[in-house]
Structure 1
C-alpha cells in the first residue's frame, strides 16, 4: 500500500467553515489594530500635551522627555506598534494614560456599562422590528403593510444623534418624564441607587438606541413573511380554511425566524456605533464615550484596546450571523 500517496482525510465541512471564519477574524483584529494605531499617530494631538493637560505650561523639557520615555512616545512608530503587539499577544493591552489603570480593566468596566445599554436596546429593537415585519408581510399590499414600510424607511433614514437629542429635549427637558443624563443620579454612591432610578436613567438611551435596528429588521422580516405567505404550504393551509393571521404565526414566522436572527447578529457593528452617539448625548459612562476621550487625548493603548474589543464583538456577531445563514441555506458553506 502506498501510504505516502494516500489522500489526507478532509476536515468536516462545519469545522472547515469555522476555521476559515476564525482565521478571517484574526486577520481582521490585526488590521484593525494597525489602522487604529496609524490613525492615532496621524492625529494632530501631542500625546504628552494631552497627558499633561492644563499642567503642560508648567512642565519643562526634561520632564516632558521623561514622560515621553515612560509611555514610549519617544520611540519610532513601528517600534511602538510592535512593542504593543507583543504585549497584546501575551494578554497585556498596556496602561491607559487617561485613567492610570490597565486597559483591560478600563475596557471591562466601561463595557459592562455599555452592555447594560446595548443589550436591552438590541433585544427591544429586534423584537419590535420582527413583530412589525410579521404584521406587514401577513398583509402584503394592504394599508398595514404600507404604513409599516413607511415607518421603517423613516426610522432607517433618521440620524441617530438627532433622534437622541429629540428624545432628550421632549421627554427630559420639556415634559420632565425622564432624567436628562448619566447612568444614575449624580452624587449618589452605587449602593445608594435603587433599581427604579437605574431603570429611569436607562429609558431614554435604550429608546434612542433600539430604533436603529427596527427598520432593517422590519423590512427584511416583511420580505421573508410575504414570500412564505405565497408558498405552497400557505396556499394549502388557506385551502383548509386557515386564517391569514394563523398562517402567519404558525408557518411564516417560523420561516422568517432564523434569517431575522442572522440580521440581528449582523447589526452589532451598527449597534455599537449608535451606542457611541447615545452615550455622548446622555453622558452614559460606557465604552463608546471612553473611545472618544481616548481619541481626543491621544491615549493610544486605550484606543487600540477599544478598537480590538469592538472588532471582536462585531466579528463574533458576524460569525454567528454566518452560522445562522448557513443553517438556513447550507449551500453558502462552500461559498464562505
Structure 2
C-alpha cells in the first residue's frame, strides 16, 4: 500500500508540474504577444487620432487634442501599455474606438461566430483531406489519384479571398443556393435566428475556409500512405495473409495518425489567418472582420484584444495536439517521462 501511495503521489506531482508549466508558458506567450502587437501598432504610420477623425477632418486642433486626451493617445507608449495591462488584469480590456463598446463584450460576441466558422472549416478540412489522402495513397497513379491530386494542387495555390469570390458568384449569385453573406438573415436579432438559418449561412464560408487545408492535408497524407504501403512492415503483413482492410486498420491508420494530427493542428493558425479574408468576403461578423475594421481605424484596444484571443486559440490547439500524441502513441509519453 505504501508503494501504491508513493506512485499516486508521484503521479499527482507530475500532473501538477505539467499544468503549472503549461500555465506559465501561456502567460509568457500572452505577454510576448501583447508587447509585440503593441509595439507594431504604435510603429504604424497611421495616426490614431486622424483615423478616428475620419478622411474629412473638420476638427480644430483643440478638439483633436481633446480626442487624444480622451483615448490616452497623448501619453507615452510605455505608459499606455501598462495602463492597458492594469485594466486587463481587472477584466477591463478598454473601450473600442470604432464600436464605442467594451472590447471584452465585442470579443465575446464575435468569438462565438468565429469559433463556429473556424471549427467547422477545421473539421471539414481534416476529414475530407484525410480520407482523400488515403484513397490517393492506396491507389497511386490511378484516375482518382490524378484527379484528386490535381484538384488539391490547384486549391492549395488558390488564395482564400479568390476562392471565396468565385464561390460567392457561382453558388450565391448565379445559382442562389446560399445567401450572399452574414451569419444570419439581415433584420433578425441573434435570439430570433434558428440553427437552420445559421447553418445555411455557414456552409459556404466554412467550405471556402477549408479549401487550402484540404489540399495540403490530402497531399501530405497521400505521400505518407504510399511510404507505409511500400514498407517492409506491410510486405510482411501481406505475406502473413492479412487483407487490405486488416492492413489499413492494424498498420496504416496508426502510422499516419500522428503526421495527420500534426498537420491538422498546425493548420489552426492558417485557419485563423484565412478567416480574416473569408469573413471579409462574406461579411461574416467574426474576429477576422473586427481585425480589418480595427486596423483600418487604428482601434488599438480592439487590436490588442484580438491578438491575445488568437494567441490563446493557437496555444490551446497545440496543447491538445501534444495530449493526443501521448494517447495515440504511448511511446511519446514514456519518452518524455524518461527525459524528465
TM-score, length basis structure 2: 0.85
How far is the alpha carbon of 1:189 from its aligned partner? 3.0
How far is the alpha carbon of 1:233 from its aligned partner? 4.8
Residue 4 of structure 1 aligns with which residue? Answer: none
Matched, 1:109 2:105: no
More deviation, 206-215/62-71: 62-71
What SS is found at the alignment partner of 2:270?
helix
Distance 1:335 1:294, change over 3 A: farther
Unaligned segments of structure 1, at least 5 residues:
1-8
Q: How far apart, CA to CA, are the structure 1 residues paired with 2:139 and 2:272?
A: 33
Unaligned segments of structure 2, at least 5 residues:
1-9
Decide whether the 8 Å contact of 1:137 with 1:222 is kept in 2.
yes
Distance 1:193 1:22, change over 3 A: closer
Per-residue CA deviations over 1:100-155 (Å, capped at 9, x if unaligned) read 22211111101111112111111111100110111122234544444433332222
Residue 121 of structure 1 aligns with which residue? Answer: 121
Q: How far apart, CA to CA, are the structure 2 residues paired with 1:295 and 1:66?
A: 22
Q: How far apart, CA to CA, are the structure 2 residues paired with 1:159 and 1:42?
A: 28
Decide whether the 8 Å contact of 1:138 with 1:245 is kept in 2.
no
Per-residue CA deviations over 1:24-47 (Å, capped at 9, x if unaligned) read 443332222122112222223332
Q: How many residues end up aligned between the 2 structures?
A: 327
Q: How far apart, CA to CA, are the structure 2 residues paired with 1:313 and 1:333?
A: 27
How far is the alpha carbon of 1:183 from its aligned partner? 1.4
Residue 34 of structure 2 aligns with which residue? Answer: 33
More deviation, 196-205/154-163: 196-205
Residue 71 of structure 1 aligns with which residue? Answer: 71
More deviation, 211-220/134-143: 134-143
Residue 265 of structure 1 aligns with which residue? Answer: 265
Decide whether the 8 Å contact of 1:103 with 1:302 is kept in 2.
yes
Per-residue CA deviations over 1:44-83 (Å, capped at 9, x if unaligned) read 33322333447841x4333332322221111011111122
Distance 1:107 1:95, change over 3 A: same
Residue 274 of structure 2 aligns with which residue? Answer: 274
More deviation, 310-319/281-290: 310-319
Residue 48 of structure 2 aligns with which residue? Answer: 47
TM-score, length basis structure 1: 0.86
